[in-house]
Amino acid sequence: MSLDVGSASYHIRSARPSFPARRRIATYFTGGVDGLLALSAALRQGGYRVQDLSVDVRDGVTEGSMVCTVLISDGGVEPLLDHLRALPPVVSSELL
């Protein structure tokens, strides 16, 4: 983007830096508590700062759910979701 004022021309950067923000992620997984441990280990090993975590695991139900809030930049959301989706117990992982 450029701005033309008289004989001077100024260039304004339109790309803003991506600052970390709180992102809520919902992940559905199988394997009960073992599946949850795999998810939490992946978050910890990746160095993600989890600020909030809710888990629903029930006996006799094939899928559990985990909703967490992670401090992450815009550019880091898709790689995190892809990493979680690649884990064997994960059925789906989405940004809320």
**Any idea what the CATH number is for the domain that residue 49 is in?**
3.30.70.260
Rounded to whole angstroms, the Cα distance separating 54 from 24 reads 11
Predicted pLDDT at 47: 93
Residue 75 lies in a domain: yes
Q: Tens digit of pLDDT for each residue in 32-91?
A: 999 999 999 999 999 999 999 999 999 999 999 999 999 998 889 999 999 999 999 999
Residue 2 lies in a domain: no
How many domains does the structure of the chain reveal? 1
pLDDT, average across residues 1-20: 59
- Alpha-carbon distance values, 30 to 14, 46, 75, 86, 91 (Å): 43, 21, 28, 13, 7
Residue 22 lies in a domain: yes
Neighbouring C-beta atoms of residue 65, cutoff 10 Å? 17
Domain containing 26 equals 17-95
Predicted pLDDT at 13: 58
Rounded to whole angstroms, the Cα distance separating 70 from 88 reads 21
